[in-house]
């Protein structure tokens, strides 16, 4: 049974500062639930302390040959805008308590969110912005809806934020979703799924699928065209976009118009060319990814489940896909391999790699020119697939 309720735009605006606290509260709510039905594996397990296993180990501006990597630990090959933005981040981080990858994560989420919010403020104004709630899998899932116009139902971009399945929220990615809404003339629905390790696989992917089903069936109630849905996400959110698409395909879910994946996690294999080249000194590290996988999918069986590691699945029947990658990113090989397998499966697929930028660059539009170019390119693609 899925239900929903609405908060009007004025109330949503007045409570924006509470959103991160709300996100953690919702996650804790999941953590204290004794058993939530789960169709993909055992009931949701909550654990403090959590034992984290060791996980085995073409841009508009410049095209990067797939598979070629250049190891570097300094910033000599970084895009100048990327260097300047990283200095802003470094200065902000120096004033905050250190972010540690240790359980529980709540004491460190505030610092992580504070850094993420540097790039989250602002963005295009919307005709209407509302926070909605979808009740599914024993939890109230917050969904932020941005509508650039309200005179007609718009196609929908359902967005899943990144953050290694353990960090971030709909607030940290608010500017990016506004830019997609304005640039592509779509409504965006940003999903505040439950975070790991309090909620482990497959809780998040099943929540995301529940929201998509709700939008498809009841989108008109939100002023949306539920027949034109694209899934999108960055990093772990890109992983959820692919996992959700596979789950919906396999369970007779709504037909999708496309998938927009920004530097997605597609496999639990950390022994790839890009992991070897950029494992240190480029923001997202191999050690961080080991922690994230351990928090999200502790068991080996989960880490090879196609809904968690979509590169290992049968990709036939997925909708047209655009994958946008950062050159200097441990996840670059993930995206390249996913694009190749999608193409082999007959899925119309486009792959772009942006030179000199790091993982996460799509959110830095206020500071990095290539971020603006990548978002604009994504908006052009969205217009095409939602026509």
- 206-256 pLDDT, tens digit per residue, is 999 999 999 999 999 999 999 999 999 999 999 999 999 999 999 999 999
Q: Is 142 helix (H, G, I), strand (E, B) or coil?
A: strand
Among 235, 274, 333, 371, the active-site one is 235
Instruction: Identify the pLDDT of residue 32.
Output: 24
Instruction: Identify the pLDDT of residue 21.
Output: 36
H helix or E strand, kind and range, residue 325: strand 321-328
What is the Cα–Cα distance from 96 to 76, expressed in whole angstroms? 27
367 is catalytic: no
pLDDT tens for residues 78-99? Answer: 999 999 999 999 999 999 999 9
The residue extents of the domains of the chain are 4-385
Instruction: Identify the pLDDT of residue 6.
Output: 54
Lowest mean pLDDT of 53-62, 156-165, 210-219, name the range: 53-62
125 is catalytic: no
Average pLDDT of the segment spanning 102-125: 92
329 is catalytic: yes
Q: What is the DSSP string of 244-267?
A: HHHHHHHTT-PPPSEEEEES----
The first and second tokens of residue 85, run together, are 């933005």
pTM summary value? 0.84
Pairing between β-strand 258-262 and β-strand 224-234 as defined by DSSP bridges: parallel
Average pLDDT of the segment spanning 124-153: 97
What is the Cα–Cα distance from 377 to 310, expressed in whole angstroms? 24
Tell me the pLDDT band of 122, cut-offs 50, 70 and 90: confident
The CATH topology of domain 4-385 is: Rossmann fold (3.40.50)
Of 147, 161, 135, the C-alpha closest to 214 is 135
pLDDT tens for residues 243-297? Answer: 999 999 999 999 999 999 999 999 999 999 999 999 999 999 999 999 999 999 9
Among 108, 146, 173, 359, the active-site one is 359
The first and second tokens of residue 35, run together, are 């058993």
Q: How far is CA 248 from CA 38, 160, 343, 351, in A?
A: 15, 15, 20, 23
Instruction: Identify the pLDDT of residue 65.
Output: 37
Q: Which spans in 251-331 are helix H? A: 273-278, 286-296, 300-303
The first and second tokens of residue 81, run together, are 């805008």
Tell me the pLDDT band of 121, cut-offs 50, 70 and 90: confident
Tell me the pLDDT band of 310, cut-offs 50, 70 and 90: very high
Lowest mean pLDDT of 74-78, 122-126, 176-180, 307-311, name the range: 74-78
Longest dimension (CA), the chain: 54
Cβ atoms of residues 228 and 386 within 8 Å:
yes
Among 174, 192, 302, 329, the active-site one is 329
pLDDT of 301 above 70: yes
């Amino acid at each position: 049974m899925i239900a929903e309720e609405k908060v009007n735009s004025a109330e949503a605006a007045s409570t924006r500062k509470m959103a991160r606290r709300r996100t953690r509260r919702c996650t804790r709510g999941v953590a204290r639930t004794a058993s939530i039905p789960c169709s993909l594996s055992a009931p949701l397990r909550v654990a403090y302390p959590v034992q984290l296993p060791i996980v085995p180990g073409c841009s508009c501006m410049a095209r990067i040959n797939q598979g070629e990597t250049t190891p570097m630990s300094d910033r000599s090959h970084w895009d100048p805008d990327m260097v300047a933005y990283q200095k802003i981040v470094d200065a902000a981080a120096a004033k905050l308590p250190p972010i540690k990858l240790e359980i529980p994560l709540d004491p460190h989420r505030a610092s992580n969110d504070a850094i993420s919010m540097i790039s989250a403020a602002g963005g295009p104004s919307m005709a209407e912005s509302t926070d909605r709630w979808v009740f599914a899998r024993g939890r109230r899932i917050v969904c932020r809806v941005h509508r650039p116009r309200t005179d007609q139902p718009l196609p929908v971009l359902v967005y899943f934020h990144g953050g290694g399945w353990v960090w971030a929220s709909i607030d940290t990615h608010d500017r990016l979703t506004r830019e997609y809404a304005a640039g592509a003339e779509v409504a965006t629905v940003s999903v505040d799924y439950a975070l790991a390790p309090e909620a482990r696989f497959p809780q998040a992917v099943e929540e995301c699928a529940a929201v998509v089903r709700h939008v498809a069936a009841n989108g008109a109630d939100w002023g949306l065209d539920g027949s034109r849905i694209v899934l999108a996400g960055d990093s772990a959110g890109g992983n959820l976009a692919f996992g959700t698409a596979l789950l919906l395909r396999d369970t007779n879910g709504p037909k999708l118009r496309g998938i927009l994946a920004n530097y997605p996690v597609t496999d639990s294999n950390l022994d790839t060319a890009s992991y070897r080249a950029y494992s240190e000194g480029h923001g997202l590290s191999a050690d961080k990814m080991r922690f994230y996988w351990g928090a999200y999918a502790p068991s080996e069986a989960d880490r090879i489940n196609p809904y968690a590691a979509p590169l290992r699945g049968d990709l036939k029947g997925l909708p047209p896909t655009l994958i946008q990658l950062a050159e200097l990113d441990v996840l670059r090989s993930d995206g390249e391999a996913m694009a190749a397998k999608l193409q082999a499966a007959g899925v119309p697929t486009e792959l772009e790699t942006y030179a000199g930028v790091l993982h996460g660059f799509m959110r830095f539009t206020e500071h990095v020119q290539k971020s603006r170019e990548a978002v604009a390119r994504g908006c052009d693609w969205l217009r095409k697939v939602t026509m």
